[in-house]
Structure 1
Amino acid sequence: MLAGTVHAFSYLFIIILVTGPAFGFFWMVSRHLQYDLQELTLKDQLTGILNRRGFDSLAHREFLKRNKLKKHLTVMMLDIDHFKKINDNFGHHIGDQILIEFSTLISQCLRPSDIFARVAGEEFVIVLPFHDESEAVNKAKQLVKSVELHLFNSDQYKIRVTTSIGVASIHSQSETLDDLLLKADQALYASKNSGRNQVTLFETNTIMHNFILATN
């Protein structure tokens, strides 16, 4: 520092030049870890799809967008039929494998814009932006058939399962996302109470309409 102002500034510039990249590196690592932590809090650890927290975040955002654009939005509630029997007969590790494969199978049938989440043990929810009731019911039928025809391969067993689905579409500006989820959940239970492996639409007049798929 006694060598003069020019030398002092040169010395400080060298320090900044050396330490700057290090600070930048640590900042990038910190941001990456923060992103990974956020991903962990929004994703289901078993299946890799969204968990309930991740679903709530994305679905409410999509719901607000729908209200602004005045477009269709439909929700599906679905679960794996008789899943408790699978756990009881084959063990929870086999049940976990089926949940993973089920999630993968459903994901492959959806669009990138669709929101798919696991919200309970064997219960899942899907938000279909810009889908009206007819389109959503057709998609639900496709999902039911895809699951019915799929052979689930575990480490020891080859297992067939079925799924039941409830569908509800928004019809009023006063309806909330929670209202829609409740209607889809009621339609799901109607599917299960009617024999499972089928789709039920919650219609505007609150009359349930079942779509029972013939088994090939």
Structure 2
Amino acid sequence: MQNKEEKLQRKAEYEFSIGLRLTHWVRAIAIVILIGTGYYLSYVFQSPISNGEPVNFMQAKYRLVHQAVGFILIACIIFKVYLFFCDKVSAKERRSVWDIFNIKLWIEQVKFYIFLGKHPHLKGVYNPLQFVTYFFFYLVMLGIILTGLILYTHTYHEGLGGLLYHILRPLEAAMGGLADVRTYHRILMWVIMIFVPVHIYMAIFNAVKGKDGAMDAIISGYKYVKEEKH
């Protein structure tokens, strides 16, 4: 037993750069704030105390926070895409692309999730299911950003809003008009709201079942992989 424990050791691997971890947590906080403020803008659930003065611009304040945090989210997404293609540490993420085309790996990964097999060896950071899910998530983020920017241009008609108005106008028309854009924006919000708890559950599942510090990696950057000494 002792010999077996001596053979099975774990080594620390630097998996996520500080830039990636920072964008992850800023993005997570931004999503929570955007969901809360966005829900208010769609369905007003709070009213200011009326004192007869025209200063209780609660709707405007919620919109300001929503738009400011929205641009922070856009910055995070752009920086994350930059890291994926240019960061040396993120080279492990790029290697995950090749695992998508490995059918055997898909089968082994599904078996792992339904408790019928061990976790397969991966070339990159993410397994095929993870990578495809994250790719879909970023497509959803692209959609909610574009619809959000269209709505922004109808609030601020000068500066950036005025510049983006003419660029995004054809997309607005293709979506069926401003009312439909607002509907798509809300639908995509619900997609994200479904994704977040599933993402948290799967992260905990992998950390507990894999026992490799998968949850620690998004905080410290390090994952602890098993290595066998011969």
Same fold (TM over 0.5): no
- Larger Rg belongs to: 1
Question: Which of the pair has the greater relative contact order for Cα pairs under 8 Å at 6+ separation?
Answer: 2
Please identify which structure carries the higher helix content.
2
TM-score (norm 2): 0.21
TM-score (norm 1): 0.22
